Amino acid sequence: MAGLYIHIPFCESRCIYCDFFSTVNSGMQYRYINSLCREYEMRRHEILPQGSSWDTIYIGGGTPSTLSIEHLRQLFTTIAKDMPQAPMEVTIECNPDDITAQYANELAQLPINRVSMGAQTFDDNRLAFLHRRHSAVQVTQAVENLKRAGFSNISVDLMYGFPNETVDDFKRDIDKVLLLDVPHISAYCLMYEEGTALYRMLQQGMVSEIDEETELAMYDALINSLAAVGFEHYEISNFARPGMRSQHNSSYWNLTPYLGIGAAAHSYDGSNIRSSNPLHLIKYIETIERGDLPVIREHLSPEERYNDYAMLRLRTSEGINLLEVERIFGALLRQYTEDTAQQFIANGQLAYNSDMQSLHLTTQGIIVSNMVMSEFMT
């Protein structure tokens, strides 16, 4: 298996919480798309064996829906030779206000069959606070437009933990996202990342973080509300109807090889090499236009590979498989894993599945997942 990630860094405006690589310099789109296509031709067999096809494709950002349909068509024309005849998961991230009826219909004419959309909240005041471009009404309209265009695989992102937000406020957002009747929901607590406008506001005393008790109560409300209507909690921040997990993102958590193209994109060969492109739009474009690759490669030690494995697998409902640990990393690291797990099993933060010989976080463990994961690092 192998996945393809395509990074589109362009945004109409910058949200105050975002620390992803992005730019509002939309005038560079033409050169950037040409560079993406050229990088793809130069690197397509770096991860993908000759004669094979991609299992998943994910177009992320930034805001990929700022691209014209013509630019998207150019991308798919370039990669079409490596796409299978059978249906595969092809995802694009979109802003709700970009998804007009016309844009949804045009997306449906491309190989795209899954749309991930950042609603964040259904409170217009909080959307304005985040500097989001859309309104709550536009989220509903976007989902309706996508469904009318034939899309059934739709994911909606929520945020919680806004300054002064209450648990009841967030419960109203949960109720509203459920009314959209989409098969996948992702939810993240608002983070104050250094270097963002939101972080500067925090430092200046303009906003304050919610307390830990309220954050945990919101997360608990999320888990219980979605479980009650049949959603599977398959990863710390991700919930899906049965059979509707994000296949592409699941491949990250399972350490499946993937190629990332575009500025700031990362790649992984499934073994011991990680690579990344520069976090600089002009540098990326000019390097590709010269016929060179801007890729920085990193060789992972066995300990680094294990750390990645433990951290990523503990995020999932399946957790760490001890047989897999022994097969990949050897008997000593299996024993290390079992020994480390004992204290968390004893206090109810990890559970052991004897049939699968696996360890997974319990609900109590998810709440303190960062602490649990850190203890497994070698």
pLDDT tens per residue, range 164-207? 999 999 999 999 999 999 999 999 998 888 888 888 988 999 98
Residue type at 198 in one-letter notation: L
Which residues lie closer than 8 Å to 313 by C-beta, 6 or more apart? Answer: 253, 254, 319, 320, 321
Could you report the per-residue pLDDT of 247-290, keeping only the tens digit for each?
Answer: 999 999 888 999 999 999 999 999 999 999 998 999 999 999 99
Give domain status of residue 289, yes or no: no
Question: Averaged over 121-128, what is the pLDDT?
Answer: 95
Q: What is the mean pLDDT of residues 119-133?
A: 93
> What letter does residue 209 receive in the DSSP assignment?
P
Which residues contact residue 128 at a Cβ distance below 8 angstroms, ignoring those fewer than 6 apart? none
Query: Given a cut of 80, is residue 20 above it in pLDDT?
Result: no
Specify if 9 maps to a domain: yes
Residue type at 303 in one-letter notation: E
What is the pLDDT, as a whole number, of residue 105?
98
Structure token pair of residue 334: 């299996």
Verify that 33 and 129 share a domain, yes or no: yes
Is residue 263 a part of any domain in this protein?
no
Amino acid at 83: M
Nearest CA-CA partner of 33 in 3, 76, 4, 82: 76
Do 236 and 323 lie in a common domain?
Answer: no
**Radius of gyration of the chain measured on its C-alpha atoms:** 21
Residue 18 scores a pLDDT above 90? no
Which amino acid is it at 91? T
**Average pLDDT along the chain:** 94
Same domain? For 249 and 334 the reply is no
Residues 308 and 188 in one domain: no
> For 1-13, what is the mean pLDDT?
90
Please indicate whether residue 16 or residue 370 has the higher confidence score (pLDDT). 370
Instruction: Report the percent of the chain where pLDDT is more than 70.
Output: 98
245 shares a domain with 107 = yes
Q: Which amino acid is at 342?
A: Q
Residues 27 and 128 reside in one and the same domain: yes
Q: Do residue 12 and residue 139 come from a single domain?
A: yes
Cα within 13 Å of Cα(335), Cβ side? 3
Whether 290 is in a domain gets the answer: no
One-letter amino acid at 23 equals T
pLDDT tens, position by position, 205-224:
998 999 989 999 999 999 99
Length of the chain: 378
The maximal CA–CA distance of the chain, rounded, in angstroms, is: 58
The pLDDT value recorded for residue 202 is: 83
Domain stop point among 253, 268, 289: 253
Which pLDDT score, from 0 to 100, does residue 22 have?
67
Q: Which residues pair with 261 in a beta bridge?
A: 6
Helix axes 302-314, 322-329, angle to 10 degrees: 160
In a domain, 281, yes or no: no
* 196 and 326 inside one domain: no
Q: 């950002």: which residue's tokens? A: 61
Average pLDDT, stretch 324-344? 96
Residue 12: band (very low, low, confident or very high) from pLDDT cuts 50, 70, 90: confident
Residues 326, 197 within the same domain: no
Domain boundary among 185, 218, 253: 253
Alpha-carbon gap, residue 227 to 247, rounded angstroms:
20
Statement to judge: residues 249 and 319 lie in one domain: no
pLDDT at 25 over 90: no
> Which residue pairs from 163-172 have beta carbons closer than 8 angstroms and sit at least 24 positions apart in sequence?
163/207, 163/208, 163/209, 163/210, 164/210, 165/126, 165/210, 165/214, 165/218, 166/214, 167/214, 167/217, 167/218, 167/221, 169/123, 170/218, 170/221, 170/222, 171/221, 171/225, 172/122
Kindly report the CATH number assigned to the domain that includes residue 326.
1.10.10
Contact 368, 349 (CB under 8 A): yes
Please count the other Cβ atoms lying within 10 Å of the Cβ belonging to residue 109. 12
pLDDT for the residue 51: 85
Same domain, 170 and 91: yes
Report residue 281: phi and psi, to 5°: -60, -55
pLDDT in tens, 288-304: 999 999 999 999 999 99
Do 222 and 368 share a domain, yes or no?
A: no
Long-range contacts of 40-45 (CB under 8 A, 24+ apart): 40/78, 40/79, 40/261, 41/78, 42/288, 42/293, 43/259, 43/261, 43/293, 43/295, 44/79, 44/82, 44/259
DSSP string, 29-69: HHHHHHHHHHHHHHHHHHHSPTT---SEEEEEES-GGGS-H
Which pLDDT score, from 0 to 100, does residue 67 have?
A: 94
* Domain enclosing residue 372, as ranges: 302-376
Residue 261 lies in a domain: no
Name the percent of the chain lying above pLDDT 90.
82
Domains identified in the chain, total number: 2
Domain boundary among 234, 253, 272: 253
pLDDT at 27: 81
Peptide bond into 62 cis (omega under 30): yes
Residue 21's pLDDT is 65
Find where tokens 């830990």 sit. Answer: 212
Question: Is 355 a member of any domain?
Answer: yes
In a domain, 370, yes or no: yes
| CATH code of the domain containing 25 | 3.80.30.20
